[in-house]
Structure 1
């Protein structure tokens, strides 16, 4: 039988293909990386307490006055409150050093705050009357030197410190000692920053005060944020929030200064209290939501101004504000391997979001926690991430490899722990950050379940 050249070519190609199918398959037998399913997490709409954010309660004390009430403090968490505002009036010491009794009062309060699982915003002043008198600069500086040990000892339960000291209520106006000048305000602020531990931030009463002290209207940059530079440690408080217009002099150039605070508040805290609205202004839900989102509001006094707070309650947005004041971090999804070799690294790929009005301002320590399913043994692995970077309204990619060195073979449940960086608080669940997802929070331990199991072994 004769075979044409075309048929020979066709037969040759078929022969090569058959040979390749039978002898060229080695590459397809190479082990392929296991494709990991994406874990998804449902958002929670629940209201719950988290450290250093939300509605707060105000507690003022006169010189050598009564300490905080342990029972009152212990009841706050049931109302989702984790933060108090402690204001000390030093009216007895305008021309004298602080007494041992005054310093003991402060330490007693800090111990009670710690015992209750709370933190505080601190302020010091010399009068709570508009026509009252404050203290001279030399006295303020002496008092700050005396307070330095208390700041050091209690840095763990101090959320922020307000600049205070000058004028009625420590609000930096109408000083009877001529302290409401940029030069003197700078001296008080810088002295306060010098005696405080560098990780603690200070809030000033108006944006113009910070701009004048630092000689710049340029907001804090990302490059300078979270450093020990003084400008990076100064945030803002507004004690006539939601009152309309200039907020009783809080602003001198309203829109540019609000924009300035909005940009700064990516890195420094904002908070304060409402005030009686000025004529014609209605601090309704829409206005409150807009302002809190713009200014990245992290806390608000629950004790003043009641008509505004009650209007929000009656209009149905109070719960919304309670839920969203400050940070509200949540898991979006994650890709997590199901197996890991002994003493090998483990890759985390987790997306987080922030549904709150503000970021975290104080650094937290984040851990991957492995709990052995058989023995219950727990292992904490540090995750090198700064969750202050999870800004409001954004999705943040946590892509990190962590070492599993020293973790025995076994089957483990995985959790995220976001803990206070203070050694005294890192193992207390009240100071751990709860993620806003359904079915992840373990209240007894302060852990957030990743709803995932990991097998560690030799593979």
Structure 2
């Protein structure tokens, strides 16, 4: 056939079928479906030690007393305890500045807490007897100014601060200096929030104290709660948990105030201790669990009140509370591609869950970590995940596109790393979050395995 006729026929065919293209497609070059590894993870039944949560020990120290014992602190690991309450009795300084010896005591405590891989809840008081005096507001303000540099230097190992200072045991009652007026309570809270770094939350003894101080009654929402304004930094501690119908005056309108705390506790912490029951039976396992879940309890004192704790031990729920106090994060499932292109990207798609009573309250740095199978070299890729938003009893979809820039061709095991925001603690395994799954935790690196192998080509 004449070449001109061939061209004419081809042109007519293109016009009729509208299928001409300036390039042709090789069938061998067609994109095939990428392989997806669908993974289901197994939840662990173990008690897991994680920062800023759980049962804690409580130690009170007199003015210029002995610092925390390093051996004792190290031994807490065997109890799965990562948190202590440290109560400083400032009885010797009701009318004077804190001494150098007192300030050095507090500094030494922080050094030993850090060395042991622990954090603390702080409280300051001027007596431990309801018949004794506390200090005037001017003295409290001066002491907080003195403490400010210590707070700043050790913010990373301070979990929370109970407001303290006012009244016997710092429980905001039995004041001898008229400190329980609204104006004086507000002054102490304002000063505390001023001298403490923004990332530290304080706790008040009753929900009404917060409502009165901030002049509101509706619980804060996420637009406020994840911020650092004063109202977003104040939670609650209850030192007579489950001890009476109103927990010895913790509540005025029990149902309404518990509902309020339940909603606020998505953003601010709840914790404390039990005390001798009055007018009610010792709390059963079911009652305690219901209340802890409702109020999102993060920590509870191991040292008081013993008979209540023993009821839980004897009825086999104590271990369950060890697991659930605070957060208990775990992997549920994942759908992950098996191959990626060098300097390309990778879609991380996993489902997380929180089976604990409460969320995480401190911002953490989270990473996808790729470990080279051939060399063992780790490559950390920062994630935008805000771990505080993995709230109790909800599945959370972690769906992020991660850049693989700078990672060479090879095969890589994938891990999640959830580490402390502090540069000094970021590399410490004790301050990394272990997910509650079986066979995923590397105790030498603080990495949680995603049980997935990625090939970068």
Superposition TM-score tier, normalisation by shorter sequence = over 0.9
1:375-424 Cα shifts (integer Å, max 9, x gaps): 11111111111010010000000000111111121111111000000000
Counterpart-to-counterpart distance in 1, 2:382 and 2:96: 48
**2:167 corresponds to which residue?**
167
1:373 aligns with 2:373: yes
1:427 aligns with 2:427: yes
Shift of 1:244: 2.3
Shift of 1:37: 2.9
Secondary structure of 1:37's partner?
strand
**1:189 corresponds to which residue?**
189
Shift of 1:282: 2.9
**2:36 corresponds to which residue?**
36
Counterpart-to-counterpart distance in 2, 1:129 and 1:199: 32
Secondary structure of 2:297's partner?
coil
Counterpart-to-counterpart distance in 2, 1:420 and 1:280: 41
Counterpart-to-counterpart distance in 2, 1:347 and 1:29: 23
1:174-196 Cα shifts (integer Å, max 9, x gaps): 21000011110000001000000
1:453 aligns with 2:445: no
Counterpart-to-counterpart distance in 2, 1:339 and 1:148: 51
**1:413 corresponds to which residue?**
413
Counterpart-to-counterpart distance in 2, 1:274 and 1:221: 29
Distance 1:139 1:46, change over 3 A: same
**Matched-pair contact (CA < 8 Å) for 2:35–2:339:** no
**2:63 corresponds to which residue?**
63
| Structure 2, unpaired ranges of 5+ | 1-23
**1:290 corresponds to which residue?**
290
1:217-264 Cα shifts (integer Å, max 9, x gaps): 111111101212100000000000011211001001111000000000
1:9-408 matches, cutoff 5 A: 30-408=30-408
Counterpart-to-counterpart distance in 1, 2:393 and 2:172: 34
Counterpart-to-counterpart distance in 2, 1:405 and 1:94: 59
TM-score, normalised via structure 1 length: 0.93
Distance 1:28 1:262, change over 3 A: farther
**Matched-pair contact (CA < 8 Å) for 2:152–2:196:** yes
Counterpart-to-counterpart distance in 2, 1:110 and 1:319: 29
**Matched-pair contact (CA < 8 Å) for 2:367–2:380:** yes
TM-score, normalised via structure 2 length: 0.93
Instruction: Find runs of 4+ consecutive structure 1 residues off by over 4 angstroms.
Output: 24-29
Secondary structure of 1:76's partner?
helix
Counterpart-to-counterpart distance in 2, 1:227 and 1:355: 24
Secondary structure of 1:58's partner?
strand
**Matched-pair contact (CA < 8 Å) for 1:226–1:233:** no
1:61-116 Cα shifts (integer Å, max 9, x gaps): 11110000000000001110000000101001001001111110000000000000
**Matched-pair contact (CA < 8 Å) for 2:245–2:280:** no
**Matched-pair contact (CA < 8 Å) for 1:365–1:420:** yes
Counterpart-to-counterpart distance in 1, 2:35 and 2:405: 24
**1:439 corresponds to which residue?**
439
**Matched-pair contact (CA < 8 Å) for 2:240–2:273:** yes
Secondary structure of 1:216's partner?
coil
Q: How many residues align?
A: 434
| Structure 1, unpaired ranges of 5+ | 1-23
**2:15 corresponds to which residue?**
none
Counterpart-to-counterpart distance in 2, 1:292 and 1:445: 32
Counterpart-to-counterpart distance in 2, 1:393 and 1:26: 51
RMSD of aligned alpha carbons? 1.4
